[in-house]
């Protein structure tokens, strides 16, 4: 019981300590130690997991025992490391002391200067998905049909196209504002506006726009969409408030054009491009709607009466012209009389009643 036996396999290493002091490495083999007072400890670690993690790693490194058996990495505050095992990316290391066994697996450690806030690498997607990445990296993605506006420590730095990006934590305060560059429609609904002749209207409008200068859109206002909404409200009031109701209703296209011109000027200052501005609905008060209906009804009735009078006049003029032609042409009058008698005879039995001599003679003569 005074001796201890330790078996170290070919893919293992023994870390020998006596009374808490590191004594050295034990390679593959069998070892016996005389230890009546139980002061000897041997920790057996597998080199199949190349990362050597130990609470006394600094002591082991300083002893020099790892010189020919491991890769020792001592990262300063401004340094980070990318670890590759057997040609495959494993993890990212923050500042600190690390050791990796060699011999069993191929380990590669790339040291990176983190004083440059942005981290760029051809294998960024793989690195960002690895364990420990979020401990040292701020990772974000810019979606398609969008652009990203990058600020570092509150200052504009760059405009980012769609893709994945990463920044070292602690090297600077990096922030990416994503801006959608597709056409977007803003509904400006329920606007209570008074016309020049003091009629209150409720209007619904729509503005279609797209962002053409993402930096200006982000830096010129806290919310460019809300700013565009407010500008459209003011434009509606400025244009509609200078017109009377009748003029407004008859010049809707001109009103929409004036509103669009006002909105475009302000939108350009916000980095926006206006595609269209349109008035969707105009809602009148109930009493005004009834009044407009009565006015419209009266106008239509007057128009119908005028058309009826025109038709009557035309009919009378036509009859007068026909009578003049018949008077000037007795033969035509005779034919016309025969046509009337033919129509009467075709309807069935014809009864002729003779009255005063003059009328009777004329009917007999016709027959």
Which domains can be identified in the chain, with CATH numbers? 1-110 (no CATH), 114-180 (no CATH), 184-283 (3.30.479.30), 329-367 (no CATH)
Are the CB atoms for 113 and 86 separated by under 8 Å?
no
pLDDT at residue 146, rounded to an integer: 93
Q: How many CA atoms lie within 13 A of 274 on its CB side?
A: 24
| Beta-strand relationship, 40-46 and 70-75 | unpaired
- Return the higher-pLDDT residue of 294 and 88: 88
**pLDDT band at residue 38 using 50, 70 and 90 as cut-offs:** confident
| pLDDT over 70 at 287, yes or no | no
- The pair of three-digit structure tokens given for residue 140, joined into one six-digit string: 């974000």
| Residue among 84, 108, 15, 23 at smallest CA distance from 54 | 15
**pLDDT band at residue 80 using 50, 70 and 90 as cut-offs:** very high
Are the CB atoms for 35 and 46 separated by under 8 Å?
no
- Return the higher-pLDDT residue of 279 and 209: 209
The pTM of the full predicted model, rounded to 2 decimals, is 0.66
| pLDDT over 60 at 228, yes or no | yes
- Whole-number percent of the chain with pLDDT over 90: 47
- Whole-number percent of the chain with pLDDT over 70: 86
pLDDT at residue 250, rounded to an integer: 79
Q: Which residue has the tokens 């009629």?
A: 199
Q: Which residue has the tokens 């491991």?
A: 70
**pLDDT band at residue 103 using 50, 70 and 90 as cut-offs:** confident
Are the CB atoms for 178 and 143 separated by under 8 Å?
yes
pLDDT at residue 10, rounded to an integer: 92
pLDDT at residue 167, rounded to an integer: 93
Residues in contact with 70: Cβ distance below 8 Å, sequence separation at least 6, in sequence order: 52, 99, 100, 101, 102
| pLDDT over 90 at 105, yes or no | yes
pLDDT at residue 252, rounded to an integer: 78
* Residue pLDDT, tens place only, 127-169: 999 988 989 999 999 999 999 999 998 899 999 999 999 999 9
**pLDDT band at residue 345 using 50, 70 and 90 as cut-offs:** low
Sheet holding 70-75, edge to edge: 51-52, 96-101, 70-75
Burial of 330: CB neighbours in 10 Å, binned 0-12, 13-18, 19+: exposed
Distances (CA, A) of 270 to 152, 187, 205, 209, 267: 22, 18, 20, 11, 5
pLDDT at residue 82, rounded to an integer: 95
Report how far Cα 99 is from the mean position of its chain's Cα atoms: 48
| pLDDT over 70 at 292, yes or no | no
pLDDT at residue 304, rounded to an integer: 72
Instruction: State residue 148 phi and psi, 5-degree precision.
Output: -110, 130
């Amino acid at each position: 019981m005074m001796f201890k036996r330790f078996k170290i396999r070919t893919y293992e290493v023994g870390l020998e300590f006596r009374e808490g002091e590191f004594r050295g490495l034990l390679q593959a083999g069998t070892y016996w130690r005389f230890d009546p007072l139980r002061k000897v400890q041997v920790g057996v670690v597998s080199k199949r997991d190349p990362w050597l993690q130990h609470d006394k790693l600094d002591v082991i490194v300083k002893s020099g025992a790892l010189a020919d058996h491991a890769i020792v990495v001592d990262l300063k505050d401004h340094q980070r490391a990318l670890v590759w095992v057997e040609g495959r990316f494993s993890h990212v290391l923050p500042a600190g002391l690390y050791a990796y066994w060699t011999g069993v697996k191929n380990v590669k450690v790339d040291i990176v200067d983190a004083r440059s806030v942005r981290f760029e690498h051809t294998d960024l997607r793989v690195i960002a998905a690895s364990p420990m990445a979020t401990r040292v990296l701020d990772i974000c993605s810019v979606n398609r049909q969008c652009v990203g506006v990058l600020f570092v420590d509150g200052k504009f730095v760059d405009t980012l196209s769609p893709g994945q990006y990463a920044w070292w934590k602690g090297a600077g305060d990096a922030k990416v504002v994503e801006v959608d560059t597709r056409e977007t429609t803003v509904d400006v609904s329920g606007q209570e506006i008074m016309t020049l002749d003091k009629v209150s209207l409720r209007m619904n409008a729509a503005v279609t726009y797209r962002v053409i200068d993402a930096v200006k859109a982000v830096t010129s206002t806290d919310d460019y969409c809300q700013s565009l909404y407010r500008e459209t409200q003011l434009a509606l009031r400025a244009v509609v408030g200078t017109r009377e109701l009748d003029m407004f209703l008859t010049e809707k296209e001109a009103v929409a054009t004036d509103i669009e011109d006002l909105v475009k000027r302000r939108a350009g200052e916000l980095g926006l491009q206006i595609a269209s501005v349109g008035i969707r609905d105009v809602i009148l008060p109930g009493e005004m709607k009834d009044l407009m209906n009565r006015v419209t009804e009266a106008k239509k009735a007057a128009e119908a009466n005028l058309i009826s009078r025109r038709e009557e006049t035309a009919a009378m003029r036509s009859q007068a012209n026909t009578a003049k032609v018949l008077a000037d042409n007795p033969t035509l009058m005779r034919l016309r009389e025969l046509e009337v008698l033919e129509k009467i005879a075709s309807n069935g039995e014809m009864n002729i009643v003779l009255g005063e001599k003059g009328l009777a003679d004329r009917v007999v003569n016709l027959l």
